[in-house]
Structure 1
Amino acid sequence: MTPTSFVCTTCGTAYIPAMQPPAACPVCTDERQYINPQGQSWTTLKQVNRTHKNIIDNIGEGLYALYTTPSFAIGQRAHLLKTPHGNILWDCLANLDATTIELINQLGGIQKIAISHPHYYTTMADWSHAFGAPVYIHQRDADWIPRRDFDLQLWDGLKNELLPGATLINSAGHFDGGTVLHYDRVLLSGDVIQVAPNLKTVSFMYSYPNYIPLNKKSILHIQASLEGLAFDAIYGAFGHYITQQARKAFDDSIARYLKIFE
């Protein structure tokens, strides 16, 4: 019997290969996520490949959205950002198959992978191996990394220029290491900054599925981390995008939140 990397069906996190799955998924036992009310369950990447496929949509100049159908686990989108200096995969999907690898390679492959926070680590080791790409994660979230048998690059501090003009920013909030990616007046925010369905405002939460609000100190840090940064668009994790006047939408949303604490 060969050790298997078991994948949590609720959050999509893949764990270090073993003969048996973990007793529980630490990501889901944390109060920011949840264990399925029917109990902890596991699958494998091979099994997910049999029932799911990935879609790759061009959503902007040099920007592609990747998502899985039917939806799996948390159901987030990843994004492929093409730059003159290389391609960046922003966040990961649990599903990765031969077709996805082929299509991405036709777009120039992946030179760097950066992940916003632990909920989107998923099968990052498989993505790293498939494309020969290092994975960048903020040091403050290091304790959440479920396996390290790949090219893992931990970084520290407020900012890290991943490629020329493409900068990771530790906005924190949702997780201490919560990160956003800024490039050419575009902000890829994961759900550190969650774009609302009205496509006019954004939200900041400690836990989205459990409706736990974020405290004032954390919101002020998010505000300070983006001080003076110009961006016209925000691309969130669930297909909600603000493509015009995103900086104003962000500032107005911060002001709205801070009024609650008055």
Structure 2
Amino acid sequence: MTEVDSVWANRKDAPSATLKLLRDPTTDLLPGLTAVICGGHFPGSMVLHSAPPNTALPTLFVADTIFAVASARNPDPGKRPDTISYQFLWSIPNMIPLPPDTVMQIWKALKPFEFKATYGVMAKISNVFEKPGQTLGLKARVLQSAKIAVKAMGYSDHGIFTEEL
């Protein structure tokens, strides 16, 4: 749990609780497993990056920090520059988007990490795997999606548009 969201912990003082509050933007939990605080629909929203040594499938466990949409499962969604693969939502059930600066904050937190799979909060919908021969890798699709989302909100001059891999 992140320190900023510790107000939600309900058993902080229990002797059996082993609550570790994460403060740093990234924390190595185990070899090859890193907690990344991204922010999002709450300030302490985080993802887990898994890249154990000698693995061919570095992975992001995104929960609901970013949300894969149906078009992410197309055979090659990167062929069309207007196709969104991920959405950045404050509320998934109500489809309320996050503000552009928060979308940028999430991207900046994810940018240093390589990944070829994302596992989300709803497995059948939101688990996505990079496939050989696709036009864009998953990381590029996250950035492309961030740009599409921010542009759709009417912020065509936002800093996200200067971002590159």
Runs of at least 4 residues of structure 1 off by over 4 A?
A: none
Q: Which runs of 5+ in 1 are unaligned?
A: 1-136
How many residues are treated as equivalent by the alignment? 126
SS of the equivalent of 1:229 reads coil
Q: Which residue of 1 aligns with 2:100?
A: 216
Q: Please tell me the root mean square deviation across aligned C-alpha atoms, in Å.
A: 1.3
Aligned to 1:88: none
TM-score of the pair, normalised by structure 1? 0.46
- The answer to whether the Cα contact below 8 Å between 1:174 and 1:192 also exists between their aligned partners in 2 is yes
Give runs of aligned pairs for residues 127-166 of structure 1, distance below 5 A.
137-148=1-12, 149=14, 150-166=17-33
Which residue number corresponds to residue 48 of structure 2?
181
The alpha-carbon deviation at position 146 of structure 1 amounts to: 2.4
- Output one character per residue of 1:21-55: Cα deviation in whole Å (capped at 9) or x when no partner: xxxxxxxxxxxxxxxxxxxxxxxxxxxxxxxxxxx
TM-score (norm 2): 0.71
Larger Rg computed on CA atoms: 1
Residues 1:203 and 2:87 are matched in the alignment:
yes
Please state if 1:255 is matched with 2:147.
yes
What is the Cα deviation at residue 254 of structure 1?
A: 1.0
Distance, in Å, in 2 between the alignment partners of 1:229 and 1:223 is 10
| Alpha-carbon distance in structure 1 between the residues aligned to 2:94 and 2:71 | 21
Percent sequence identity is: 28
1:159-206 Cα distance to aligned partner (Å, 9 max, x none):
000001110000111110000000121000001011112334111111
Q: Which consecutive residues of structure 2, in runs of 5 or more, have no partner in the other structure?
A: 52-57, 74-84, 131-136, 157-165
Match of 1:243 among 118, 124, 129: 129
How far apart are the structure 1 equivalents of 2:67 and 2:95? 13
